[in-house]
Structure 1
Amino acid sequence: MKKGESSKKVVLITGASSGIGKSIANYLSTRNFKVYGTSRSSKDSSQVSFNFVQLDVTKEETIRSAVQEVFQKEGKIDILINNAGVGITGPIEETPEIEIKKAFDTNYFGPLNMIKNVLPVMRKNGSGLIINITSIAGYMGLPYRGIYSATKSALEITAEAYRMELKQFGIKMTNVAPGDFATNIASGRYHAPVTKGSPYEKVYGDTLAIMNKHVDAGQDPELMANEILKIIQTEDPKVHYKVGDRLQKISVKLKSLLPDKLYEKMLMKHYKL
């Protein structure tokens, strides 16, 4: 064992300052894992049961620095959990291009850069597990959440290819798609403004209220933490996992079974469009 290397499995999880990420980090740290959670700003680790490292997934220099810091302390990184993400809502026509690019920088390019920087460490150790937190929204184009759906779908599909490329190194990858959970994601996401006089004004405003209601009524994030532990303990993880209420998981299955127009009609009815 190298100097400073822990006998516990070392977990690096992005976006651990709140919500699902914080729940996962706390949960794993109480179950014999050495957990490093990341945040864009410095955090006081005394307030949680894991260690914080500063990292912004949109800035590769901070990714390199954080990975190096954890490796120097522990001598390994066994598990990477790509959890950091941002929400974005709005009519696609009225969503500023700069906000679309920001969403992709965080939800897609951020995880890819995390993977790229962690892989040399895992390859050196001949093993590793990468868990990408995506979204059930990534399985379908949702009205007024189309950009968010696109970012998560892109990560899901890219990871399908990536995991095949990594098998030769003994490194495993999987995607976990949560449904609605009771977190503060709604307050932190970008909302295209409900513009007075816009052709989307009423419908978008009503749909936004429905979305926020779903999040507020979402499940306890600890359910996700428990599922993540089960996946870590699985010898050969599946390509995709879905975690959420029964209706949300069924909606993914229905998309593959129903004619496109019928599924579209079902979604529109759900969002009262």
Structure 2
Amino acid sequence: MRKVVLITGGSSGIGKSIGSYLAARGFTVYGTTRSKAKYPNFDAFNLVELDVRNTETIAQAIATVLSIEGRIDVLINNAGVGITGPIEETPNEEIVNAFMVNFNGPISVMKAVLPQMRKQKAGLIINITSIAGYMGLPYRGIYSASKGALELVTEAMRMEVKDFGVQITTVAPGDFATNIASGRYHAPVLEDSAYKKAYGNSLSMMDEHVDSGEDPIQVAEKVLAIIHTKKPKVHYRVGAFMQKFSLFLKKILPDKVYEKLLLNHYKL
């Protein structure tokens, strides 16, 4: 039986890469987008409308998939938004929006899918987080916090749902060559800002990292491997060696030494 996969934020970037990769390997894939009208010629896999900030659209999208397929075997919570800026100068409504999309949104989608997975006595949820979620990065603090929060919620929910045959895990990508930078909110570099020079330099560096990032197909390969794993681990990381190595260093180095490494890396 073909497994039915639902991917939030499936119309571009990592979500589209995962969807296309799985569809080519015999899975029935539904990706979500906030506006189907923006993608009139999209034919990589099925698209349904869903905004993770709106529980009505979540319920509607899941009902649509279930009415056609009768089941959802794998949920991939991939929809996310980038946000950069000095925290002092980042508007509160942008901070709230980032958490609505990156944290509250995935929880809302999980809550909507879990009753069906419990009924099936089987299901897999993969939350796409970020290596940035393991450390507080300068000028990316809100993004780091929203992704880090999703890592912790996943740890808790795994234990809550284990008796229902449902497995939950996270995949934390490093920098991948996608269009995330174009859709990212970044606080403007203000002329009279105390952070002007440091933030301006950091912003340029972040864009370079995304442009020279790894191929998102690596994330798709990891997702497929997890789907075929009987007992997935709690967390997975995908990315360049140095990005993954930085997590190992964070575990073993004193906090101030690790902070010094980050300051040197970002030239702060």
Deviation at 1:58, TM superposition (A): 0.5
Work out whether 1:23 is the aligned partner of 2:29: no
CA distance in 2: counterparts of 1:63 and 1:33, whole angstroms? 21
Deviation at 1:45, TM superposition (A): 7.3
1:91 corresponds to: 86
Work out whether 1:201 is the aligned partner of 2:196: yes
| Contact 1:45 1:51 survives alignment (8 Å) | no
CA distance in 1: counterparts of 2:213 and 2:43, whole angstroms? 23
Work out whether 1:78 is the aligned partner of 2:73: yes
SS at match of 1:47: coil
Please give the per-residue CA displacement for 1:63-111, whole angstroms capped at 9, x wherever unaligned: 0000000001000000000000000000001000000000000000000
* TM-score of the superposed pair, with normalisation by structure 1: 0.97
Please give the per-residue CA displacement for 1:141-178, whole angstroms capped at 9, x wherever unaligned: 00000000000000000110100001010100000000
Query: Residue 28 of structure 2: which of 24, 34, 37 is its match?
Result: 34
Runs of at least 5 residues in structure 1 that lack an aligned partner in the other structure:
1-6
Work out whether 1:149 is the aligned partner of 2:169: no
- The alignment of Structure 1 onto Structure 2 pairs a total of residues equal to 267
Runs of at least 5 residues in structure 2 that lack an aligned partner in the other structure:
none
SS at match of 2:193: coil
| Correspondence 1:237-256 to 2 at 5 A | 237-256=232-251
SS at match of 2:125: strand
- For 2:6, the aligned partner's letter is L
1:268 corresponds to: 263
Work out whether 1:135 is the aligned partner of 2:130: yes
- For 1:66, the aligned partner's letter is A
- For 1:76, the aligned partner's letter is R
CA distance in 2: counterparts of 1:45 and 1:133, whole angstroms? 26
Deviation at 1:55, TM superposition (A): 0.4
* TM-score of the superposed pair, with normalisation by structure 2: 0.98
Identity %: 63
CA RMSD after TM alignment? 0.9
Deviation at 1:46, TM superposition (A): 5.3
CA distance in 1: counterparts of 2:164 and 2:241, whole angstroms? 36
